[in-house]
C-alpha cells in the first residue's frame, strides 16, 4: 500500500463496534447441497459456498426465487471465515450466514473497507472452528474509522477504497504492459487454432500414459507442519509451499528457502485431497505435504508454459472428477502415472504448435476484458 494511504490510516480516528451492531446475522433461506445442485452456464443466480476464491461463487443455479438471499449483504462462511460482499441476490450452500447491514449508508462503495476490517478481526480463527456461531459473530469487535460522536465515517471509507482501487488499477496496467499482456489482438494462426478446436475429430487425438510423458520431481521433506508456517511471506519465510489445498493453486504457506528443494515450471498435484486438481506452477515454490510435482521428461522437445497449461487441462480431465474425494481417494503418483490422457496429434506426433496457438488465443481472449477494464478506469481517473 502506498505511503499516502498508510498515513491516512494512521491519522484517522478509530472506533470499536460489535459486528451485531453493524449487521443482523441471519441464516440463509435455504442451504443447497453442492453435490445435488446443477451449475448452469447462463441464467439463474449466483450460488455462494465456503470457498475463498471467485467471491465465494461456485457458479449459477436455477432454483425458486423465494429462496434467494438479499443483495447488498455479506456472505460469511461459518467454518472458514470466508466473507464476501454480494451485490446481487444469491443462493447459498451449507454453513453460510447472511450479514444484513443495519446502516443505510452501507453500499458497494464502502463494503470492501468493512471486509478488510472484518478479515483482520477474524484472522486468528482457524479453519473448521466451532466458534463461528451467531453469538460469536455478534460479539466480535471490528475497528472502523469514526468522526465526531463516534459516528462511522462512511465518507472516509468510500474515498479510501476509491483511491486504493485507482492505485491497484495503475499497478495492474503497468504489469500488463511490462509483460506484453496489453496485446489482446488474436493472430490469424491463433484464430485458426480456435476454429480447429471445434472441428478436430477423434482421429486427431492420440492417447498417452501420463507416466510416459512426465516424471515426479524428487524433493526434500521439510521439517515443518502447515499450522507452524505463516500464510503470508514474512522475514525469512518467503518460499511458497505446496499442500493438498485447491485454493491459490495449493500455495497457501511460506517457509524458509534454506534446506528446501526449490522448483518451478512444473505441474503440481495433490495426493490426499477433496479435489484432485492439477496446476501449472511457473514460479519458485517447494512441496510441503500431501502433494507432489511432475515435470516434462522427453528431452527431444522442451515444452513452453502455454503447452504446460494445455496439458494441465488434459490431466484434469482424468483426475479432477467428482468421483474422487477425501473419502474416495484418487491416490498419488503411482496411480496417476498410469492414467491416460488425450493430446492433439499431427502426422502421428504430438501437435505442440496447435497447443501453443490455442492457449495463446484463449489467454488473449481472457485478458482482453482486463485490459479494457484498466483502460476505462484510467480514462475515468484522468
Sequence ranges of the domains in the chain = 14-149, 196-350
- State if pTM tops 0.75: no
Q: What's the pLDDT score for residue 351?
A: 95
Name the CATH superfamily housing domain 196-350.
Answer: DNA methylase specificity domains (3.90.220.20)
Alpha-carbon gap, residue 345 to 88, rounded angstroms: 45
Query: Cell for 51?
Result: 470457498
Q: What's the pLDDT score for residue 65?
A: 94
Q: What's the pLDDT score for residue 50?
A: 86
Span 119-130, pLDDT tens digits? 998 876 655 555
For the chain, residues with pLDDT lower than 50 are 1
Looking at the domain 14-149, which fold is it? Adenine-n6-DNA-methyltransferase TaqI; Chain A, domain 2 (3.90.220)
Q: What's the pLDDT score for residue 128?
A: 53
Q: What percent of the chain has pLDDT over 90?
A: 66
Residues 6 or more apart whose CB falls under 8 angstroms from that of 85 comprise 55, 73, 74, 108, 111, 112, 114, 115
- Alpha carbons within 13 angstroms on the beta-carbon side of residue 178 total 6
14-149 and 196-350: identical CATH topology = yes
Nearest Cα to Cα of residue 240 among 223, 224, 252, 227: 252
DSSP 142-168: EEEEE-GGG-B-HHHHHHHHHHHHHHH
CB 100 within 8 A of CB 30: no
Q: What's the pLDDT score for residue 127?
A: 54
Q: What's the pLDDT score for residue 176?
A: 78
CB atoms within 10 A of CB 303: 19
DSSP summary character for residue 320: S
Span 60-96, pLDDT tens digits? 999 999 999 999 999 998 877 889 999 999 999 988 9
Alpha-carbon gap, residue 15 to 142, rounded angstroms: 8
Span 43-69, pLDDT tens digits? 999 999 988 888 999 999 999 999 999
- State the average pLDDT for the chain: 90
Amino acid at each position: 500500500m502506498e505511503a499516502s494511504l498508510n498515513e491516512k490510516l494512521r491519522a484517522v480516528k478509530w472506533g470499536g463496534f460489535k459486528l451485531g451492531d453493524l449487521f443482523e446475522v441471519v441464516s440463509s433461506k435455504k442451504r443447497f447441497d453442492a453435490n445435488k445442485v446443477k451449475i448452469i452456464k447462463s441464467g439463474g443466480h449466483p450460488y455462494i459456498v465456503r470457498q475463498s476464491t471467485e467471491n465465494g461463487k461456485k457458479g449459477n443455479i436455477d432454483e425458486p426465487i423465494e429462496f434467494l438471499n438479499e443483495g447488498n449483504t455479506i456472505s460469511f462462511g461459518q467454518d472458514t471465515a470466508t466473507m464476501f460482499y454480494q451485490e446481487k441476490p444469491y443462493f447459498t450452500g451449507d454453513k453460510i450466514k447472511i450479514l444484513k447491514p443495519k446502516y443505510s449508508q452501507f453500499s458497494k462503495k464502502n463494503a470492501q473497507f468493512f471486509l478488510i476490517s472484518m478479515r483482520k478481526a477474524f484472522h486468528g480463527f482457524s479453519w473448521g472452528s466451532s466458534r463461528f456461531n451467531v453469538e460469536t459473530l455478534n460479539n466480535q469487535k471490528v475497528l472502523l474509522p469514526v468522526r465526531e460522536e463516534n459516528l462511522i465515517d462512511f465518507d472516509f471509507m468510500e474515498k479510501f477504497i476509491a483511491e486504493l482501487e485507482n492505485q491497484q488499477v495503475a499497478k495492474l496496467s503497468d504489469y500488463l504492459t511490462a509483460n506484453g499482456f496489453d496485446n489482446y489482438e488474436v493472430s490469424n494462426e491463433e484464430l485458426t487454432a480456435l476454429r480447429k478446436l471445434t472441428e478436430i475429430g477423434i482421429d486427431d487425438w492420440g492417447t498417452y500414459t501420463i507416466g510416459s510423458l512426465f516424471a515426479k520431481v524428487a524433493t526434500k521433506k521439510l521439517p515443518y507442519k502447515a499450522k507452524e508456517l505463516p500464510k503470508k511471506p514474512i522475514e525469512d519465510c518467503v518460499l511458497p509451499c505446496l499442500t493438498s489445498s485447491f485454493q491459490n493453486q495449493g500455495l497457501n504457506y511460506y517457509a524458509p528457502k534454506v534446506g528446501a528443494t526449490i522448483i518451478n515450471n512444473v505441474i503440481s498435484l495433490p495426493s490426499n485431497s477433496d479435489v484432485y486438481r492439477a496446476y501449472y506452477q511457473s514460479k519458485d515454490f517447494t512441496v510441503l505435504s500431501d502433494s507432489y510435482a511432475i515435470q516434462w521428461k522427453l528431452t527431444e522437445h522442451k515444452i513452453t508454459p502455454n503447452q504446460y497449461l494445455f496439458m494441465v487441462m488434459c490431466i484434469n480431465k482424468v483426475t479432477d472428477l467428482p468421483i474422487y474425494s477425501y473419502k474416495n481417494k484418487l491416490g498419488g503418483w503411482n496411480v496417476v502415472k498410469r492414467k491416460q490422457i488425450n493430446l492433439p496429434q499431427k502426422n502421428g506426433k504430438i501437435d505442440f504448435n496447435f497447443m501453443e496457438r490455442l492457449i495463446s488465443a484463449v489467454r488473449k481472449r481472457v485478458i482482453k476484458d482486463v485490459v479494457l477494464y484498466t483502460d476505462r478506469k484510467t480514462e475515468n481517473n484522468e
